[in-house]
Structures are given as C-alpha cells and as structure tokens.
C-alpha cells in the first residue's frame, strides 16, 4: 500500500519537476545542478551563472540583461525583505548559495571581524577608481552601489509648519502627520542628534533620553514605512525617508508636486550605503568581479540611475547621468556634507532594542 502510494508520489514529483524544467528551464535546471556540481568552477573555465542577493526593485533589468549578454551567463537575482535577511544569509555560510550579497555600511565591521566576507582584489575591478573615496568605507571588502540620505521631506500645502531641525518633528502641530522609516538604529540617532548627543552613542542614560524624545515623536507618527505612498496619497504631510524614495514620490506627483526637501536644515542627516560583498566561499568569484566592475562602469551605472534615481557614490556615473537625474529636486539640498554614518555600537545594541520595543509597546 505505502509502497504503491510512494511510487505514485515519486512519479508525480518527477512529472512536476519535468514540467517545471520544460517551462522555465533556466532556474529549475540550475537548482538541480547547483547542489551536486560545485566542481563546475574550476579556474580554467569561466562560470556561467551568478547568484546575487539584494533588494527588490533596485537594479535595472536592462543592466542585468546587458551583463548577461556580454559575459554569456545567467544572473539569478533573489531578494531580501529586510536588511537582517542579508546578515542571516551571510552568517549562515551564504557563500554556498550566493556570489554577491548586498548589505549596508553599518554591518561591515562585524562582518569583516567575523570572517564572513572575502577580501577583494581591487585590481580586478579597474572601474572602481570612479568611486568617490569619501564614500567608501571598508574599501578592501566591498564595492558601494548606491547610497541613501535619510532626510525630511514635507508637503508645503498640508504641512502646518516649516521644518528646519529634528526638534520640529515633535511639534504637537504635526500630530498624526509623519510617515517615517523604521528600525531602532535608524530612529534613535535622530533623537540623539536632536538632544545634542553622538548619534552612535553607547551611553544608556543618553539612549534613555532619546527614548523620551521618541515617545513624543511617536505621537506625531501616522505610520512606520511606506513613506512614498503616504506622501503621494495625502495620508502624511511630513516624511522621514530616503532621497531615492522622495524622488519617486516627487515624479509621481508630477506637475502638481508640492513636496519639498527640508532645506535649510540645521542637524546632520544619516547617510547610508548599499554595497556588494562577496561572501566567504563564493563559487563564481570570476563573474562576481566582472559584475562589480560592470556596475562601476560610468555608462552602465548612468543608465541604471535614470531608472533608479538614488544617490550614487560613483562620481563619473553621476556626471554621465542625464540632466533629469542631476537636477532632481530630491537631491537638490544644501547640506550634503553635514552627514553622519551608522556605526557598530557593539553590546549597546541590546539597550537600543530594549528601548525600541518599549517605544512600540507603549503604555
């Protein structure tokens, strides 16, 4: 009985797999091959597939297609839904599955210390000379892709006040008006700066004070996340968000755009980088290097920027980008130098998380 059923089952599975291979041959076949043929990557012959783990809606399909054509290979993109997903993949031996993983600058220190990322041979990435050194932390281990300012945008028609510093965000006039990014390590620095402390403070008393500030801020928040959506449909009049998302929102509003970046602004804003690392033990490093070199190419990157209008550390690409990108009102603000970076806070992370949870649990 059981044997017959298991036979039937095996047959069904086989059929399903065949059907799967027939219809969308590339990914299905590589799944089968990936597990039992790591020997594929003998140095003599070039790899034919590249597995990248990154954000969804963050790289142009055209760029990927061109790279595939030039190098006669298949690029498999898979997507994370949280920055932590990338860290989970990296610390769980991501090299087995991925050749390139996107992460951000704040994690680099621990990742290098933990030996989770490969040291890069920059001579294999000649185009990397286009990247502005000022924006390149942990230079030997990563290649920056795009970068994000976390700043304040508001709707001149609906926002009751002019915003020039973080303390304006706790003005009771803004009750239920703010759409903001989420996460302990994104929110607390804002409060710490507003209070005049180091944005990467490890002092519990300062974090506790920041918590009190955020409680007031929380009163004014309508939603965490989905800033573009809330700005464009009128749910929020103020947003604490990334410049790339602001650019979307502004172009989405088109002619009737009433969104402006808060400028002048007295406080430092957070600047973060999304960068690529090669996880330890990656299988197709030859292609990974070629890809890193390709995204540093000014022409290729300029085209990508047209579609994904985020700030970019690649100066040559920015220069080659079209007028519309360079004059984008979302990136036209005067305080680009007044920035701070998110740093590893070590054990203090638990303090941040405790207060963050307390903030979200409320009374």
Please tell me whether residue 78 binds other proteins under the rule CB under 8 A: yes
Please tell me whether residue 293 binds other proteins under the rule CB under 8 A: no
Phi and psi, residue 53, nearest 5°: -115, 120
Site mask for other proteins (CB under 8 A), range 19-38, x = bound: xx--xx--x--xx--xx---
Q: What is the dihedral of CA 89, 130, 298, 309, to 10 degrees?
A: 60
50, 63, 73, 87: which one binds other proteins (CB under 8 A):
87
Complex with other proteins: residue 223 or 268, whichever CB lies closer: 223
Please tell me whether residue 39 binds other proteins under the rule CB under 8 A: no
63, 221, 260, 269: which one binds other proteins (CB under 8 A):
221
Please tell me whether residue 256 binds other proteins under the rule CB under 8 A: no
Instruction: Please answer whether residues 275 and 147 qualify as being in contact, where contact means their C-beta atoms are separated by less than 8 angstroms.
Output: no
Please tell me whether residue 82 binds other proteins under the rule CB under 8 A: yes
48, 110, 124, 164: which one binds other proteins (CB under 8 A):
110
Complex with other proteins: residue 182 or 266, whichever CB lies closer: 182
Please tell me whether residue 245 binds other proteins under the rule CB under 8 A: yes
Measured CA to CA, the distance from residue 61 to residue 141 in angstroms comes to 26
**Binding window for other proteins (CB under 8 A); candidates: 193-201, 258-266, 291-299, 342-350:** 342-350
Please tell me whether residue 96 binds other proteins under the rule CB under 8 A: yes
**Binding window for other proteins (CB under 8 A); candidates: 47-55, 136-144, 203-211, 257-265:** 47-55
Site mask for other proteins (CB under 8 A), range 184-203, x = bound: x-------------------
In the structure encoding, which two tokens stand for residue 294, read together? 């390709």
77, 161, 195, 339: which one binds other proteins (CB under 8 A):
77
**Binding window for other proteins (CB under 8 A); candidates: 136-144, 209-217, 227-235, 298-306:** 227-235
Residue 159 beta carbon to other proteins: minimum distance, rounded to whole angstroms: 14
Complex with other proteins: residue 126 or 234, whichever CB lies closer: 234
Complex with other proteins: residue 334 or 353, whichever CB lies closer: 353
Site mask for other proteins (CB under 8 A), range 53-72, x = bound: x-xxxx--------------
Residue 267 beta carbon to other proteins: minimum distance, rounded to whole angstroms: 24
47, 51, 71, 201: which one binds other proteins (CB under 8 A):
51
Phi and psi, residue 140, nearest 5°: -80, -5
């Amino acid at each position: 009985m059981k044997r017959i059923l298991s036979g039937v089952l095996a047959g069904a599975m086989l059929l399903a797999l065949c059907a799967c291979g027939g219809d969308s041959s590339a990914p299905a076949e590589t799944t089968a091959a990936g597990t039992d043929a790591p020997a594929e990557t003998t140095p003599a012959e070039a790899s034919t597939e590249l597995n990248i783990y990154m954000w969804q809606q963050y790289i142009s399909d055209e760029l990927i297609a061109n790279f595939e054509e030039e190098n006669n290979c298949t690029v498999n993109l898979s997507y994370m839904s949280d920055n932590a997903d990338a860290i989970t993949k990296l610390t769980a031996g991501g090299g087995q599955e991925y050749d390139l993983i996107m992460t951000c600058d704040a994690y680099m220190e621990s990742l290098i210390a933990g030996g989770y990322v490969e040291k890069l041979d920059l001579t294999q990435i000649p185009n990397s000379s286009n990247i502005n050194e000022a924006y390149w932390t942990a230079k030997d281990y990563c290649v920056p892709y795009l970068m994000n300012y976390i700043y304040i945008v508001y709707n001149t028609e609906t926002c009751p006040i002019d915003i020039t510093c973080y303390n304006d965000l706790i003005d009771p006039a803004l009750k239920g008006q703010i759409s903001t990014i989420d996460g302990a390590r994104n929110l607390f620095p804002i409060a710490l700066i507003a209070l005049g402390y180091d944005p990467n403070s490890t002092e519990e008393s300062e974090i506790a004070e920041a918590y009190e500030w955020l409680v007031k801020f929380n009163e004014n928040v309508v939603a965490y996340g989905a800033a573009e959506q809330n700005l464009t449909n009128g749910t929020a009049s103020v947003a604490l968000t990334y410049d790339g998302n602001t650019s979307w929102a502004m172009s989405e509003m088109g002619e009737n755009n009433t969104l402006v970046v808060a400028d002048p602004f007295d406080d430092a804003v957070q600047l973060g980088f999304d960068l690529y690392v090669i996880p330890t033990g990656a299988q197709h490093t030859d292609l990974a290097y070629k890809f890193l070199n390709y995204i540093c190419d000014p022409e290729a990157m300029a085209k990508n920027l047209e579609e994904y209008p985020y700030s970019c550390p690649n100066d040559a690409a920015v220069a080659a980008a079209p007028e519309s990108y360079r004059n984008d009102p979302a990136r036209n603000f005067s305080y680009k130098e007044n920035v701070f970076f998110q740093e590893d806070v070590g054990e203090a992370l638990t303090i941040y998380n405790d207060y963050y949870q307390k903030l979200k649990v409320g009374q």
